[in-house]
Amino acid sequence: MIRINIAEAKAHFSRYIESVERGETVTVCRRNVPVAEIRPLPRQLRNERPVGIDRGMKVPASFFEPLPDDLLDAFEGETDPA
């Protein structure tokens, strides 16, 4: 965190905004008493993130259906997979 007085903030405002853009928080003080804080805003996603690597990939509805009992038993080691 960076602490600056108002005079320094006025003289070098663009320098401190660059620090804020890099993720720093700047505390502005009057006579060494904090009066304000400049911090970065959370970044917003521009678009929805695609599922998987393939940008055009669609997940079929059957993907969300329960697995068959014999396959679940195989995962739990209750049946011989061969």
CATH number where 18 lies: 3.40.1620
User: Which pTM value belongs to this model?
Assistant: 0.53
26 falls within a domain:
yes
The span from the CA of 17 to the CA of 13, in Å, is 6
Only one residue has tokens 């070098």, namely 12
pLDDT at site 37:
97
Query: Band of the pLDDT at 80, cuts 50, 70, 90?
Result: low
* 3-class secondary-structure state, position 49: coil
Range of the domain at 34: 2-38
The span from the CA of 39 to the CA of 32, in Å, is 19
pLDDT at site 78:
77
Instruction: Give me the number of domains the chain comprises.
Output: 1
8 falls within a domain:
yes
pLDDT of 81 above 60: no
Lowest mean pLDDT among 24-33, 48-57, 60-69: 48-57
Mean pLDDT of the chain: 87
79 falls within a domain:
no
Which has the closest alpha carbon to 30: 10, 13, 58, 60? 10
